[in-house]
């Protein structure tokens, strides 16, 4: 059984399609996983061989169904995760775009880290999914991608800069 959800953590969105064979496709990449209740609200998550301790209040101690907001602690770091089924997420996205007053998007850091590399320059045209920069956090490289079509009008960071969660990285103008 496939269960496609969209998880939003801060400004970062992940498409997750989990199947009954302990495989999940996250943003197009396939991972093996195990998500097991240990005790009360403590879970063990093994994702591609890496172990994580997750604390979350989940209804009936079942994995998330794809709707609502949950607060989790992942290896001691607290995060709020908004879960939507794919259809609901698309509808929310369309509504958000149609009511936007501004013709530009400010891309912000989804987590603290260091800028490993820039993949765009001011003036570059971007489309949804195009890599903008790579943010290194907790020894992992995270590609920050465009969610809109437009032109890069401003870059606030350089390679090697340390950024905080929510800090402005890039502005993309759709005008």
pLDDT tens-place string over residues 123-138: 999 998 899 999 998 8
In a domain, 94, yes or no: no
Q: What is the CA radius of gyration of the chain?
A: 17
Whether residue 166 sits in one domain with residue 118: yes
In a domain, 28, yes or no: yes
Of 61, 86, 111, the domain-final residue: 86
Whether residue 78 sits in one domain with residue 9: yes
Q: What is the pTM of this model?
A: 0.46
141-154 mean pLDDT:
90
Question: ∠ CA(143), CA(145), CA(146), 5° rounding?
Answer: 165
Whether residue 71 sits in one domain with residue 106: no
Report helix, strand or coil for 157.
coil
Whether residue 8 sits in one domain with residue 81: yes
How many domains does the structure of the chain reveal? Answer: 2
Q: Who's near 158: CB < 8 A, 6+ residues apart? A: 115, 118
Give phi and psi for 25, each to the nearest 5: -105, 115
Q: What confidence tens digit (pLDDT) does each residue in 32-63 have? A: 888 888 887 788 888 888 998 888 766 555 55
Q: What confidence tens digit (pLDDT) does each residue in 148-171 have? A: 889 999 999 999 999 988 888 999
Whether residue 112 sits in one domain with residue 65: no
Question: What confidence score (pLDDT) does residue 100 get?
Answer: 47
Type and span of the H or E element at 15: strand 12-19
CATH of the domain at 26: 3.30.700.30
Of 86, 118, 134, the domain-final residue: 86
Question: What confidence score (pLDDT) does residue 67 get?
Answer: 66
In this predicted model, which residue has the larger pLDDT, 19 or 154? 154
Domain limits for position 125? 102-173
Q: What torsion do the CA atoms of 64, 16, 134, 162 make, to the nearest 10 degrees? A: 0
Distance CA 35, CA 164 (A): 30
In a domain, 108, yes or no: yes
In a domain, 30, yes or no: yes
């Amino acid at each position: 059984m496939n269960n496609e959800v969209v998880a939003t953590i801060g400004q970062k969105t992940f498409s997750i399609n989990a199947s009954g064979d302990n495989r999940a496709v996250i943003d197009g990449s396939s991972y093996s996983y195990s998500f097991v209740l240990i005790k009360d609200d403590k879970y063990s998550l093994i994702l591609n061989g890496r172990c994580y301790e997750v604390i979350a209040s989940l209804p009936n101690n079942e994995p998330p169904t794809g709707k609502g907001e949950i607060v989790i602690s992942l290896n001691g770091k607290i995060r709020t995760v908004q879960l939507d089924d794919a259809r609901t997420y698309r509808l929310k996205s369309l509504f958000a775009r149609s009511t936007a007053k501004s013709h530009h998007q400010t891309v912000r850091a989804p987590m603290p880290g260091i800028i490993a590399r820039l993949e765009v320059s001011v003036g570059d045209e971007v489309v949804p999914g195009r890599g903008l920069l790579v943010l290194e956090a907790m020894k992992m490289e995270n590609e920050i991608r465009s969610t809109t079509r437009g032109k890069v009008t401003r870059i606030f960071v350089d390679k090697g800069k340390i950024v905080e969660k929510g800090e402005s990285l890039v502005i993309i103008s759709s005008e």
